[in-house]
Structure 1
Amino acid sequence: MTNKIPVDLSLDASWILPVIPRERVYSDCSLLIKDDCIVAIVPSGKVEEQYIPRSRVDLGAQLLMPGLINCHGHAAMTLLRGYADDLPLETWLNEHIWPAESQWVDEAFVRDGSRLAIAEMMLSGTTCFSDMYYFPEACATAAHEAGMRAQIVFPVLDATNNWSKDADDAINKGLKLRDKYRSHPLIKIGFGPHAPYTVSDTALQKIATYAEELQAPIQIHLHETADEIERAIGRTGMRPIQRLQDLGLLTPLTQCVHMTQLDANDIDILQLSGAHVIHCPQSNMKLASGNCPTQTLLDNTINVALGTDGAASNNDLDMFAESQSAALLGKMVAGNPLAIDAATAIEMSTINGARALGIEDQVGSLEPGKQADIIAIDFSGVSSAPLYNPLSQLVYTASGSRVSNLWVAGEHLVQDYALARMNSTELKNHALKWQNTIQGHDGE
């Protein structure tokens, strides 16, 4: 008779970074998985003293860590990657992106763009993403088919667009989508009011009421540029975040994206509300929108997570690159090389992201009982040597290109650098089709 515990998989690695406890790195240990959950981390030499693994994989000189969480993006806009670069935000939006979206965005565009984005994210280490875009049902379907974890926030705007007639129409459609995915193990549906300047007080109050009743997330672009603040004060006599607080929209369910223009009172409002900040450093830098004071926010116990934004303004969806940018920009903005250190940058892309999305009890760290959302990074190459500090190596070098394997809820979705469920050739062919269609029309 044996007291050994049966498990499905033992992943043996040179390093395991659980994120919790902070800065802890285990050497020559194994991560044990049963069904879709993490069972334990134990020294590799002692696995078979306590467990009976159905399968055992020796990853060698690789590091295991939680999958990265991309807390803000517009997945389908991957089909507009490089379409309108090096322009100011207003010009980029009004003269290029919005006209292109008006002409081309439909369910097929969102399906193909979302699938392309999901593949790119998985291959660079992202296991969970948040999306705000038209035809959210198409993105939800793409995530479901790919086996990806996702938060889909349906876009709410007062103006008629390709997906909805007005804010009420968007809310009604979004609530139906939420009902469809209510019991889905990987996909969560929330509200995505686009921005304070595109959504009325009436619609924002309605969203606040529904979100509180349903305990559903809200994600909104907020304080993205100085011009947004100036116009809001001219229109309403108050800064946008004060307006949202007065309308009851700011709660621990709220995810505030960008936040590059903050004063001391704004920070006080954030702290009191329990709302989260989603920092998109590369997009903010590319569009010269401003700088989010991330270290100051963290010092004031405000949760800060990371997002790539859409590939039309980034232009990639590599969360390791975003972590590096967050660390470097955070130091520059704070004027302090100690600000946003490597451990903090990793937390922002893992456990902080899970907290922002309200799923920290499921993912964001490698702890027993949590979902097996895991990535492996190969440190065996020349560019990884010497390796004094795995955390620094993850943040300050091109780690996205070193992601060799990825699991979501225990399912092996990237195997030895290749997609297991998705066809790369098919994805590229669909992207080329859209490129030729859009380019051909632009050339007329």
Structure 2
Amino acid sequence: MDLLQHLFLIFILILVSSFFSISEIALAGARKLKLKLISEGGDNRADKIMHLQENSADFFATSQIGLNAVAILGGSVGEGALRPYFAQFIGQFYQGQWTESIAFFTSFAVVTLIFILYADLIPKRIAMINPEKVALAVINPMLVVIKVVKPLVWIINGIANATFRLFKISTVREESITFDDVSAIMDAGAEAGVVLQQEQHFIENVFELEERTVPSSMTVREDVVYFTLGESEESMRQKIAEFPYSKFLVCNETIDQVIGYVDTKDILVRLLNNQSFVQLNESTIRNVLIIPDTLTLSELLDKFRASKEKFAVVINEYAWVVGVITLSDIMMTVMGDWGSPIEEEQQIIRRDENSWLIDGSTPIDDVKHALDVVEFEDWDHYETLAGFIMYRLRKIPRPADFVVHENLKFEVVDIDHYKIDQVLVTRLPENVEEVADRDWM
């Protein structure tokens, strides 16, 4: 066999090896989400790829058989074909006992370099650029090769499976998609400009509905405006004028004796019909949805949907009212505060690059996002920033008490009847050692 025939054979071996290399990366790296979209478009090759990924043992065995067999054959053919020519060339400059050895290593290095570049590196990089497109092109030929070498694959897989069982290694592939996976996809989409930053924020907030509990978004007990059965009409007029809410809780004497609620639309209808301003009776008081404070926002959405209600009273394990929540509160959790002029001041105010003034009742998830905090320790023990500080201090705080977390100093600056009203958050310099939580005696 002359040189041209050897070179042609090496070229064929490189093509075969590159096919296995490009197939290995493309078929293993093809993303299931994109494959499902391609399958829905009518291309059944995507279904074959997903089935191959779910049963990948035969594919990987076939791939390794092909790669190793071609590599061994290519090294043998290439070294044998090129060594005489390298020996002849080296002989022009050096004559000695090392001539054959130098020719052998030179031919081996050249053949190895060619196979690394054109049979391994370049094909794999091509496959990484667009794995789905490449996988669609190679799936049918690969299935044919798998059938051809099936007996040998069966033997190799049998030995491999016995090894896995011996060392108790699980071979089940985890296919579940977590929130972190979706969040990573959204981050990548936002960086690529496919997803707007606001859309990314909305989607992340929707996923958080499964984790955030009702108290994180409700109006707390101290801020609930309610009517009592014996309340005067003048007092109710004043509350409606001062607090532009669409619904008001109705209680017997105290807030813990809930009867129902009234809708301001009903009051408007009575005014349009020239009737009395309001009468708190069975015809005007509506039944209110009572929910426990342990529900997540996602569970509350299901209850709103089932009951056709948009307003609920939140109670704790002692049947005390801890707050009220509406469908709008949940929507604001997803979409953020639109900041209309009649609404309350922002709960998080950025003073400068390294300090914030935050309301103590701010949900801890909002604080986490605003300050870019990785995680609050034992977050399931509290819902608000005030709860976090009290949990860390293990006491009712006073002004100037502070805690330090993730190089951030949370200092209490205002207390209103034992309630943490305002917290000053300051980012500490990087070179400052973290100080312990402190309360002033």
Higher helix share: 2
Question: Shared topology, TM-score over 0.5?
Answer: no
Higher strand share: 1
TM-score interval, normalised by the smaller of the two chains: under 0.3
- TM-score normalised according to structure 1 size: 0.23
- TM-score normalised according to structure 2 size: 0.23
